[in-house]
Amino acid sequence: MQHVVVFVEHKAGATRKVTFELATEARRLADQLGGKAHAVVLGPGSAAIAEQLKAYPLDEIHLSEDSDVEKFLLAPAVEYLDAAAKSIGSCIILLPNTMLGKDLGGAVAARLSAGMTSDVTEITVEGGRVNCVSPKLGGALITSCTFKDADYGVITIRPNSFAATPGAGAGHVSQLEKPVGNTYAVSIESDVEEGSGELGIEEAPVVISGGRGLGGPDPFTTLLKPLADALGGAVGATRAAADAGWVPYSLQIGQTGKTVSPQLYLAAGISGAIQHKVGMRSAGTIIAINKDGGVPIGEFADLLVVGDLFAIIPELTKLVQEAKAVHA
């Protein structure tokens, strides 16, 4: 028997869809492993998140409103998560595959002498063993791996890979005790949110990406953003665009950027280099707009429209907006 523990990432009480994907998957795994589904929520705003989590089939929600979690880097969260896991006993810890999720996952795995596997897109249970499917080598290989010789396993999960399905659960809420005797070494002096309230590209169901073909920074906001808004998505980019300083690196998709799996990926002015492809090849549908019909992206896009993106995108945005208006 093994329990499942979800680490809930949030910012002052605002969380993202991946939290509910994790909660849903935790229930499914816990049932197969004969254990309970837990969640751990830390820092100011935790109580509000716990209320939202009650709509998902969790057994126990452990929280602490301790403000140290947002005053000091990583260490307080590591202490709480480590202590919670030890009091729950043998368990699988699910975190989102985000910067924070990978940091906490690594630290907690070291403390618990646990196995760790990241960027997982599929989990199965066979004979009490948890098997995780994840891409390696920039997506060139898909591996399945399992935990061994460890009471604990740490899994970071790629957003948009699992369904988020509300359901009834005991939803019992309890307060975590503050780990004693620690002074935290790394203080957070300032914390700036960029593009707050918008979906991150890793979680967006639709990603509208631009490359060198956009020719400068402005078309990202004047051309791609309105289309992304109309389709309920986010704007992404190639490394060529990020290197040129047109967009921040946080929007870069590919081998040295983010990996996304949206339902729809629209690539405008992007050639489809292998280093870009590995970050978006698992999208549901890929559509490309390129003035050159011989580009590599034509080899794997579901649809390549050969034409001028500057002429096509504004018209497409209009069509989508009109269709939405009719349905609204």
Partner 1 sequence: MKIVVTVKLVPDANAEKRLDPATKTLDRQPGATVLNPFDEYAIEAALQLKEKLGGDTTVTVFSMVPETGKETVRKALAMGADDAAMLSDPGLAGTDVWGTAYAMAHALKKIGFDLVITGGLAEDGNTGGVPCALAEHLGIPALTNAAKIDIVDGKLHIQRETDSGHQVVQGPLPAVVSVTMAVGEPRYPSLKGIMGAKKKTVTALTLADLGLERPVGSAGAKTEVLSFAPPPSRAKGQIVTAEDGPSGAKIIFDFLKEKKLI
Ligand X SMILES: Cc1cc2nc3c(=O)[nH]c(=O)nc-3n(C[C@H](O)[C@H](O)[C@H](O)COP(=O)(O)OP(=O)(O)OC[C@H]3O[C@@H](n4cnc5c(N)ncnc54)[C@H](O)[C@@H]3O)c2cc1C
Residues 257-286 that bind ligand X (CB under 6 A): 257, 269-271, 273, 275-276, 279
> Cβ closer to ligand X: 205 or 215?
215
> Cβ closer to ligand X: 169 or 254?
254
Rounded CA separation 137/6 (Å): 27
> Cβ closer to partner 1: 28 or 111?
111
Judge contact between 285 and 260, C-beta under 8 A.
Answer: no
Q: Among 39, 53, 241, 304, indicate the residue that binds ligand X (CB under 6 A).
A: 241
- Does 116 contact partner 1 by CB under 8 A? yes
> Cβ closer to partner 1: 173 or 235?
235
At residue 119, the 3 state secondary structure works out as: strand
Q: Which of positions 12-71 make contact with partner 1 (CB under 8 A)?
A: none
At residue 152, the 3 state secondary structure works out as: strand
The nearest distance, CB 217 to partner 1, in angstroms, is 17
Q: Which of positions 79-98 make contact with partner 1 (CB under 8 A)?
A: 98
DSSP of 32-101: HHT--EEEEEESTTHHHHHHHHTTS--SEEEEE--THHHHBSSHHHHHHHHHHHHHH-SEEEEEESSHHH
- Residue 184 pairs in a beta bridge with none
Q: Which of positions 64-123 make contact with ligand X (CB under 6 A)?
A: none
Site string for partner 1, 203-232 (x = CB under 8 A): ---x------------------------x-
The nearest distance, CB 246 to partner 1, in angstroms, is 15
186-194 long-range contacts (CB < 8 A, ≥24 apart) are: 186/72, 186/73, 186/74, 186/75, 187/71, 187/72, 187/73, 188/70, 188/71, 188/72, 188/73, 191/70, 193/11, 194/248, 194/250
213 binds, among ligand X, partner 1, none (CB under 5 to 8 A by kind): ligand X
Q: Among 119, 214, 246, 270, indicate the residue that binds partner 1 (CB under 8 A).
A: 119
Nearest to 154 by CA among 170, 135, 132, 122: 132
Rounded CA separation 76/305 (Å): 51
Residues in binding contact with ligand X, number by CB under 6 A = 28
The nearest distance, CB 201 to ligand X, in angstroms, is 12
Q: What is the CA radius of gyration of the chain?
A: 21
> Cβ closer to ligand X: 188 or 303?
303
Residue indicated by tokens 């946080």: 250
> Cβ closer to partner 1: 124 or 175?
124
- Does 135 contact ligand X by CB under 6 A? no
Q: Select the span of 25-33, 98-106, 172-180, 205-213 touching ligand X (CB under 6 A).
A: 205-213
Q: Among 44, 138, 179, 215, indicate the residue that binds partner 1 (CB under 8 A).
A: 138
For the chain, what's the residue count?
328
> Which residues contribute to the site for ligand X (CB under 6 A)?
211-213, 238-241, 252-257, 269-271, 273, 275-276, 279, 289-292, 295, 308-310
